[in-house]
A and B are shown apart, each in its own frame.
Chain A
Amino acid sequence: MTIDEERQGSALILTLTGKLDGATCPPLEQRFTELLAGDVAKLVIGLAQLDYISSAGLRVLLVAAKKMKSKGGSVALYALQPQIFDVFKISGFGAIFPIHPDRAAALA
């Protein structure tokens, strides 16, 4: 998995590409830990190029959302592939995260 970053004001846009599973989630978890120690108020995560996620990946996203919430920030997701959107629905994560069709909506 690769992580691309782009800063827009107090928001940070992360674009994830590849697979987010038990083997590939540690670098993202590490990056979240670093980012949450900084001044990012809004984390916007683009998943158009993410073609796989398992519960290990969902866990990393949930932990980041909990930490952002506790410091008054937010996490939004956009452009989920259909199969990944299904996983979010089945796991109840679709109700935990704001999910947007595209980046502009997620940043609004």
Chain B
Amino acid sequence: MTTTRRRRFDQIRDRAQISDLVDPLRAQFAAWGATPSEAFQLTLVLDEILTNIVDYGYPDGPVGSVSLRLALRRGVLAAEVIDDGAAFNPLDRPPPDLDDNVETRRIGGLGVHFLTTMTDRRRYRRVDGRNRLRMLRRLGQTDDDA
């Protein structure tokens, strides 16, 4: 039996709204079979991507159309973030500074680092003036003791 379950969120506009949106995602992912670690990490990745879009995707005006689509199929979570902001391919970014010295460590790049380390597969496309970032992660794989 293969059922696909979906959730969709539209009109994402600011950090407060992102905070409210991603908060219940942890429980949603857990209900879909994610371990506590996977639920946390997937929530974090989506938070980072959405926050980046509202912070930097619309430098010349109000935040436009930003949406998140989630689907669960055969134990794999597919998440797609779609926005009509400035073209930005997070998969093209250089790796972040992971310097362990507090004085010299630079700030930034962590959101993309979380995206690449906390998802199994990622794909970016720019289509019809929109960024479409799709990521996959198989659920129920980590061995949590939480």
A residues sitting closer than 8 Å to B (CB atoms) are 19, 21-24, 52, 54-56, 58-59, 62-63, 65-66, 69-70, 81-83, 86-87, 90-92, 95-97
A50 to nearest B CB, angstroms?
12
A51 to nearest B CB, angstroms?
9
Report Cα–Cα, A86/B44, bound state, in Å: 12
Interfacial residues of chain B within 13-31, with CB under 8 A of chain A in the complex:
15-16, 18-19, 22-23, 26
B47, A22: Cβ atoms closer than 8 Å: yes
Task: Report, nearest first, the 9 A-B pairs whose CB atoms are least far apart.
Answer: A95-B100, A92-B98, A23-B19, A83-B40, A55-B110, A22-B15, A23-B15, A23-B16, A22-B51
A55, B18: Cβ atoms closer than 8 Å: no
B65 to nearest A CB, angstroms?
20
Count the B residues whose beta carbon is within 8 Å of the partner chain — how many? 35
B residues sitting closer than 8 Å to A (CB atoms) are 15-16, 18-19, 22-23, 26, 36-37, 40-41, 43-44, 47-48, 51, 55, 98-103, 105, 107-108, 110-111, 113-114, 117-118, 144-146
B98, A21: Cβ atoms closer than 8 Å: no
Tell which of A22, A23, A55, A92 touches B100, judged by Cβ atoms closer than 8 Å.
A92
A59, B107: Cβ atoms closer than 8 Å: yes
B116 to nearest A CB, angstroms?
10
A82, B110: Cβ atoms closer than 8 Å: no
B15 to nearest A CB, angstroms?
4
